[in-house]
Amino acid sequence: MSKDLTSVRVTHRDTIKAMQSAQLKDATDGQIAKALSQVYFMVGLRPDHYPTAEEDLFIFSYLRKNYGHRRLEELVMAFDLAINGHLDTDEIKVYDQFSIEYMVRIMNSYGRYCTQLLTKMPEIVPVARQLAPAAINKQEEIDYWKVKK
């Protein structure tokens, strides 16, 4: 069951920032490690339970292989949305173990969230236009009015 998008506090600026960050497939280990450090803090993973260096390499590889089209900031945004109850995941507690399965659950839920968001675009575009008129380009304007018919 998907959540109502109207209460989400991720702003237009957050989305633009996320879309401007590096894709996971092109990100360095250091960039991914920095993003994951933010994630670990957000979900309450204690430093003594952080993945080992070997596990980190596997996580980086897994992210690049399975979520390479996503961006660094989207990784952080996915967990931010999850801990704030905006994704359709039942259990977001990490229980001192950051596993691939846990990450996949959050990232797949984020993917469903994005799909839902895209289906709501005709409703969101007018709001985005009011909030940040300069951020809407001509093609978005054309696409909006094609759908509006």
Task: Summarize pLDDT for 20-77 with one digit per residue, the tens.
Answer: 888 999 999 999 999 999 999 999 999 999 999 999 999 999 999 999 999 999 999 9
Task: Summarize pLDDT for 68-93 with one digit per residue, the tens.
Answer: 999 999 999 999 999 989 899 877 88
Return the half-sphere exposure (C-beta side, CA atoms, 13 A cut-off) of residue 35. Answer: 26
pTM beyond cutoff 0.85 = no
Please give the sequence-ordered ranges of beta strands (E in DSSP) within the chain, or none if there are none.
Answer: none
Instruction: Give the mean model confidence (pLDDT) for residues 93-112.
Output: 91
**Which residue stretches of the chain are H helix?**
12-20, 29-43, 53-67, 72-83, 100-119, 121-131, 138-148
Other Cβ atoms within 10 Å of 69 Cβ, number:
9
Q: What is the CA radius of gyration of the chain?
A: 17
- Helices H, strands E: what count in the chain? 7, 0
Nearest of 2, 15, 1 to residue 124 by alpha carbon: 15
**What mean pLDDT value characterizes the chain?**
81
Give me the sign of the Cα torsion angle 45, 69, 78, 93. Answer: negative
Contact 131, 80 (CB under 8 A): no
